[in-house]
A and B are shown apart, each in its own frame.
Chain A
């Protein structure tokens, strides 16, 4: 627990975004997580992504469940809407928030315990419902808050801090999200912001369910030699398949890239997602082959990272339900109750 307050003073050359805000204006309170926790880097990446996208904080909703990961919404965007909900029930609350106000940038933060164990049903169904949101899992493979038991995403054979091996097969949330119909699926590493920040930006502007599984080492209980989710292990075994570069619509594309090595994907807000295929055989638009690839490499002990799958033309829950364009929470009684004459006309049509 850090007792020194983070000074408000910032670098004199800190850039200002379109709203006149600096990155520091998107921060939350100082983290109470263990020093060195990967989750803090995920929070920092969300802060940076939101600042660079010039997201108005009041249009940002952050919801979480229970666990170390679910504490993190306190540590970013403290001027936004937030709710720390019940264990594993973030998806229900987020669904409600998104249905009530479709104009919100919805970000749900969950952990491997919160999503892959107690909230597994909730996770499956929010993906299936295609809520327009970013679902982030801070995945450290351990129950840090209860002192280091294996979680459901912990790899078979990976050991505890004391050396006892895990006997069960892991749940791969990214594969599940692919299988359940998420239209944007990525995996990243808390220690690689160059990869993570563009992914978060793209996921935030993506229309539909965007899921990012972030391997985020638990520095206290799962960062040892027998762990497959330690800083060192991920740096050695992480395998990037598709790098994403987020290019805002007002930015001129000037960087020199080798022709043929990338593909541009138009995003709903007019921006561009530039995909660099590290592995030529990988197709980020083919759900089935992506699933195959991730699973096969996983069997070989590799952790596939990067943008695994994207469907830029996906629809979201509001389109499926054909709701009005105005956020439901703005509709007044006069909008919702058309009056007696309209009711009579409807009744008349059934006679």
Chain B
């Protein structure tokens, strides 16, 4: 193999699994260390810089970082990264002094943001410190978008949402709330320098089954219903409720129904439990509240009598694996009839932009999604950019933040008359040695083998009594500190310097995970089999040195390295050093280093 190029910013970035997996590339180990040092405000700001909504995401994020966490591979359970983010948000002090300053004199460029969800808000935050005049258009009377309308208050308290939305609005956004945009053509005529569309994926899917049209009053589209609850238009649901669908919206619908007085709530899913779209923990939360999840039941028909819904007939299927894909075949059991008074449909949502005329040079693809450049988020109309769910379909808030950073860079480049791709700022990485003395490191190298801490909850009776009572209490400072210790500090990298190595084997002998091997070089597949411990996980890189005096190379398997620093600790010549990598992900107005 060729020697590893550690100058490539992606090499060490990839070793920080959580940061690599995070769409916004939040520097997770760094903010966890700040929490361990009780520097909650700094931890919060580091988050705020990259993901914009730490308090909200600390409660609601889809957590792509956690399945990626190295502890899943070395032990079992990942670090509770998401809940630690909440620890930072809950315990932070006054952040006003940390906020970027917005110039009083503007730069003369006017930007229109359509839809006041997370994507638009994040674009506003990135552009305002550069002197842009930002106008935000929203049909609802408040900002927040789906964070307000679709995430129930028992998961995300209104105060937390308001705080982080207002942080941005108070930076000087010109708000046009309660103004629904009905024509993109008219918007374009207003002569803004750029337009960002972050209107989400607002159309919930319906199910066209026999009997559907006769029972309209009893069937509700999940996201619309949740929105009505959020804005106080609905405060009760009576009788037996069936939630159809297996995603996170379904979980929110069923738990909300339970709190609004439903006699019984069932979730019925056409697919198998393991392949449901809902996050594992959201399924657990629903089941803990006593809500049955019934799988492998595709609906067949709505049964009604005198214009009133009586129930639903479901077919019984079972999953069969065929060529690695799940296929559902009839299980042979008779169809099931379930009595129901109200049905909540949570079977997915789509992009829907009827207000964008199709003759203004803005193309849409066959799924009715805008045609976009995946790097710049620019549409076929050069002045119009998309982000969040409206770009590539429903995702999570963290994706909206990530899209927004890129779109903001593009808008800025365009306003400066630069090329959106060639002039894009590059990624970078800084390496800073953590060695402070003979055996002192600027990070807590000792490995903590303790298991994942559970988040305390409010008493269930109190939780189910009121839709606004937050279920999770969050980690307190003590639990937060304990959980923070579980982080492996993957951003403190094992950096190898060939010409210092005397090949004494001290690192090979001490490594608890058998990551290091000195051997003759070979092709990657061959090399992976010849290491001290086999390295079958090809997704994780091998770190290969230049040739050593014995014509061997040092090969380190990054897969299960604990970053405990023992290789550097036992190296007599400092050929190994533990160096903190700071990955620079391009972003406008970033202040964190």
Look across to chain A and name the residue whose beta carbon is closest to the beta carbon of B512: A7
Which single member of B445, B503, B513, B549 contacts A9 (CB below 8 Å)?
B513
Chain A interfacial residues counted at CB < 8 A:
35
Output the residue of B445, B449, B505, B562 with the most chain A CB within 10 A: B505
A129 at the binding interface (Cβ < 8 Å): no
B540 at the binding interface (Cβ < 8 Å): no
Q: Is the CB of A219 within 8 A of B572?
A: yes
B288 at the binding interface (Cβ < 8 Å): no
Chain B residues with CB under 8 Å of A30's CB are 510
What mask results when residues 263 to 291 of chain B are scored 1 for a CB within 8 Å of chain A, else 0?
Answer: 00000000000000000000000000000
Binds B, one of A38-46, A49-57, A155-163: A38-46
Which single member of B514, B562, B569 contacts A14 (CB below 8 Å)?
B514
Assembled-state Cα–Cα distance A41/B505 (Å): 7
Chain B residues with CB under 8 Å of A2's CB are 439, 510, 566, 569-570
Closest 3 CB pairs of A and B: A36-B572, A7-B447, A44-B509
A34 at the binding interface (Cβ < 8 Å): yes
Q: Smallest CB–CB gap between B397 and chain A, Å?
A: 33
**Given A14-B514, A35-B569: A7 touches B504 (CB 8 Å cut-off):** no
Assembled-state Cα–Cα distance A287/B562 (Å): 49
**Interface set, chain B 165-186, CB cutoff 8 A to A:** none
Assembled-state Cα–Cα distance A4/B492 (Å): 15
**Given A6-B510, A14-B533: A36 touches B439 (CB 8 Å cut-off):** no
A1 at the binding interface (Cβ < 8 Å): yes
Chain B residues with CB under 8 Å of A41's CB are 504-506, 509
Chain A residues with CB under 8 Å of B513's CB are 9-11
Q: Smallest CB–CB gap between B7 and chain A, Å?
A: 28
Q: Is the CB of A4 within 8 A of B566?
A: yes
Look across to chain B and name the residue whose beta carbon is closest to the beta carbon of A230: B502
Q: Could you pull out 28 A-B pairs where Cβ atoms are within 8 angstroms?
A: A2-B569, A4-B566, A8-B449, A8-B512, A9-B74, A9-B75, A9-B513, A9-B562, A10-B514, A11-B515, A11-B560, A12-B73, A24-B512, A30-B510, A34-B572, A35-B506, A35-B571, A36-B573, A37-B504, A37-B506, A41-B504, A41-B506, A41-B509, A44-B505, A44-B508, A191-B504, A217-B504, A231-B504
A253 at the binding interface (Cβ < 8 Å): no
How many residue pairs link A and B with beta carbons under 8 A? The number is: 99
Chain B interfacial residues counted at CB < 8 A:
35
**Interface set, chain B 437-476, CB cutoff 8 A to A:** 439, 445-447, 449
Output the residue of B502, B513, B550 with the most chain A CB within 10 A: B502
Chain B residues with CB under 8 Å of A38's CB are 504
Chain B residues with CB under 8 Å of A81's CB are none
Q: Is the CB of B512 within 8 A of A9?
A: yes
B534 at the binding interface (Cβ < 8 Å): yes
A223 at the binding interface (Cβ < 8 Å): yes
Assembled-state Cα–Cα distance A18/B558 (Å): 29
Q: Is the CB of B571 within 8 A of A36?
A: yes
Q: Smallest CB–CB gap between B187 and chain A, Å?
A: 55
Assembled-state Cα–Cα distance A1/B440 (Å): 11
Q: Is the CB of B505 within 8 A of A4?
A: no
**Given A6-B510, A7-B512, A9-B512: A193 touches B505 (CB 8 Å cut-off):** yes
What mask results when residues 570 to 588 of chain B are scored 1 for a CB within 8 Å of chain A, else 0?
Answer: 1111000000000000000
Q: Is the CB of A219 within 8 A of B504?
A: yes
Q: Is the CB of A6 within 8 A of B514?
A: no
Q: Smallest CB–CB gap between A196 and chain B, Å?
A: 10
A13 at the binding interface (Cβ < 8 Å): yes
B222 at the binding interface (Cβ < 8 Å): no
Q: Smallest CB–CB gap between A25 and chain B, Å?
A: 13
**Interface set, chain B 68-93, CB cutoff 8 A to A:** 73-75
B145 at the binding interface (Cβ < 8 Å): no
Output the residue of B512, B514, B564 with the most chain A CB within 10 A: B512
**Interface set, chain A 202-233, CB cutoff 8 A to B:** 217, 219, 223, 231-232
Q: Is the CB of A6 within 8 A of B566?
A: yes
Q: Smallest CB–CB gap between B143 and chain A, Å?
A: 46
